[in-house]
Amino acid sequence: MKKRYPHKSKVLLVNITRLGDMLQATPTIAGLKAENPDCHITVLVEKQFADVCHVIPNIDEVLGLDLGLVCRSLDREGDGIVDAYEYVDEMVQRLRAESFDYCLNMSSSAYTALLLNLVGIGRNGGWTSDELGYRVIESEWAQLFATSVFHQNRQYNSLNLVDVFRCSADVEKHPQKLLINVTPESLSHCESLLSSAGFSNTGPLIAVQAGASQAKRQWSPSRFIALIKILAEQHNARVVLTGSPKEAAIVDPIVAGCRSPNVVSLVGKTTVPQLAAMLKLADILVTGDTGPMHMAVAVGTPVVSMFLASAYGFETGPYSADNIVLQPVIGCGPCNPNKSCGRPDCHDQITPELIAHLTMQRLGGPVLEISPGIADPAKVTVYRSAFDEHGFCDLIPINGKPLDPLDRYRRAYRQLWLEDLGGLEVASSELPQAPGLAVLDDGLKGLEEIVACAQAGQELIKSLERCIRDVSVPAAHLGKVNDQLTALDNKIENLGFQFGPLESLSRMFVFAKENLKGSDPLDLASQMNRAYRDLERRCGKFAAYYRAV
């Protein structure tokens, strides 16, 4: 794999947000240690998640950033603003004193980018900012992350974000799973909870996570009740419902609706380390796209996971082999995570009977395929998680050929980015034979126009370089060329908006232009020319891969 900074000795990893995000960082952290055995890794997280980091392996130091204190101080105004400044300044000075030689910012927030600009770490794999506060994304893999999560582009991505981030950090070696330590004390606590539960069944222990981060991503309580009754009454299962205290309002009606001694709520009865232990004791977890899903993967427990509404299996699916992922086939999914939904029709694509069947089948071992008629591929694609020959997580359909029309684009983009960004070898039969785009089907509308723009851009750069070298050229002529380049760049971006399947190509170009470095005019022109050449080359490869799928 192509690497920008292969050797690292003192690493700062910034991951401010949620439990699941920290767990998804663990393959990157493990890989950094595997490839740089003597490196020291410090993790900067929001204060409330600091304790979680102590059960994650390969971390040498944890720093907690108290964002709540900063917000409360700013809200007080007056002296509060001074208090907030002093707190941030103290953190900046502390980070500067560490003399980090590499930073991976896995949080795309503006405030972490500004913070890292103040710290001034020379080599970066994620988000920082320049002196004026504008976003800087040095790594092309991090640019791909920003491209892939741009709402319209999500549906064309088939690379798990864990892999995108580890490649941003130049990590090739990794454990092909998430990691968390389970302590003997936590196991003992959970064994006591189970022994006192009063189960009359003796079958598999099935954990169920009913809550989700958003209501639209949460399967209805009535469906969970129907599922759990099938598992407990027909399959002799013991069922434990997990969750945080705030999820009691979701879980309590489910337990009441089941009316069974074999259905027990553990909501609010486990800490994060104890939840990890409980999931390790479970035979399987049924869940949505949740933090407990990532935790189950980390302790080696298989999951059956439903990716509803804005959740997208290719993006944040379970990062280990042989899990089951269900993605509804619906025109509006995955939807915008920032928009509410009055009628989440995607929920209707998955039935309790289907989940029960898949759960019991997975308890018998990895599921390579399911019988025809069990899951209609026109309604839901059922995937098995796996790793390809390059160690990238993938989802393999197991209920027939996907009827999702976007699947062809996903496969083409996957090949493109692995080869173009990663420098990974693609089978010779799949390689583009020529850059020509003479034969295009309707799925590639707009591509010829983008290629023409990329070629025009290269010609304009030649004119720009001549103007820079020839001091006799009037400044007005130089300005005219710049105006033409600006108009051309706007056209490329607008073509991406107009032809949705091509926007990942245009968006990567936009990020390349936004992240030009230096002040020498000829060097900047050379970087601009490279951006146009990259766009033309990627368009040719994408067309070839799309036609080959």
pLDDT higher than 70, residue 5: yes
Identify the DSSP state of 378: T
pLDDT tier, 108 (very low <50, low <70, confident <90, very high otherwise): confident
Which pLDDT score is estimated for 431?
Answer: 42
Are residues 107 and 17 in contact, defined by beta-carbon separation less than 8 angstroms?
A: yes
Report which of 283, 278, 279, 55 is spatially closest to residue 188, judged by C-alpha positions: 278
What tens digit of pLDDT does each residue of 486-505 get? 999 999 999 999 999 999 99
Report the distance separating Cα 298 and Cα 27, nearest Å: 10
Domain boundaries, the chain: 10-168, 186-420, 442-548
pLDDT tier, 547 (very low <50, low <70, confident <90, very high otherwise): very high
Which pLDDT score is estimated for 331?
Answer: 85
| DSSP β-bridge partners for residue 285 | 207, 303
Work out the mean pLDDT of the chain and round it to a whole number: 93
Phi, psi (degrees; rounded to nearest 5) at 58:
80, 5
Report the distance separating Cα 144 and Cα 139, nearest Å: 9
Helices 67-76 & 79-97, crossing angle to 10 degrees? 150
Selecting from 3.40.50.2000, 3.20.20.140, 3.30.200.20, 2.40.30.10, what CATH number does the domain 186-420 have?
Answer: 3.40.50.2000
Mean pLDDT within 506-530:
95
Radius of gyration of the chain (CA): 25
Query: Which two three-digit tokens encode residue 409?
Result: 């684009």
Mean pLDDT within 352-374:
97
pLDDT higher than 70, residue 439: no
Q: What type of residue is 150?
A: F
Mean pLDDT within 161-167:
96
pLDDT higher than 80, residue 127: yes
What tens digit of pLDDT does each residue of 173-221 get? 999 999 999 999 999 999 999 999 999 999 999 999 999 988 899 999 9
What tens digit of pLDDT does each residue of 385-409 get? 999 999 999 999 999 988 788 899 9
Task: Determine how many CB atoms are found less than 10 A away from the CB of residue 260.
Answer: 17
Report which of 70, 20, 12 is spatially closest to residue 44, judged by C-alpha positions: 12
- Pick the residue with more confidence: 135 or 496? 496
Same fold for the pair 10-168 and 186-420: yes
Mean pLDDT within 514-534:
95
- What CATH code would you report for 10-168? 3.40.50.2000
pLDDT higher than 80, residue 428: no
Are residues 384 and 320 in contact, defined by beta-carbon separation less than 8 angstroms?
A: no
pLDDT higher than 90, residue 15: no
Report which of 353, 362, 326, 361 is spatially closest to residue 227, judged by C-alpha positions: 353
Which pLDDT score is estimated for 416?
Answer: 97
Are residues 416 and 542 in contact, defined by beta-carbon separation less than 8 angstroms?
A: yes
Q: For tokens 């390809």, name the residue.
A: 388
Are residues 326 and 377 in contact, defined by beta-carbon separation less than 8 angstroms?
A: no
What tens digit of pLDDT does each residue of 527-546 get? 999 999 999 999 999 999 99
Which pLDDT score is estimated for 215?
Answer: 87
What tens digit of pLDDT does each residue of 456-488 get? 999 999 999 999 999 888 888 889 999 999 999
What tens digit of pLDDT does each residue of 283-300 get? 999 999 999 999 999 999
pLDDT higher than 90, residue 20: no
pLDDT tier, 342 (very low <50, low <70, confident <90, very high otherwise): confident
pLDDT tier, 16 (very low <50, low <70, confident <90, very high otherwise): low
Alpha-carbon torsion angle 460, 466, 472, 474, nearest 10: 10
Report the distance separating Cα 395 and Cα 305, nearest Å: 12
Which pLDDT score is estimated for 427?
Answer: 59
pLDDT tier, 118 (very low <50, low <70, confident <90, very high otherwise): very high
Report the distance separating Cα 220 and Cα 216, nearest Å: 9
Helices 407-420 & 521-548, crossing angle to 10 degrees? 140
Q: For tokens 């399967």, name the residue.
A: 219
Mean pLDDT within 126-154:
91
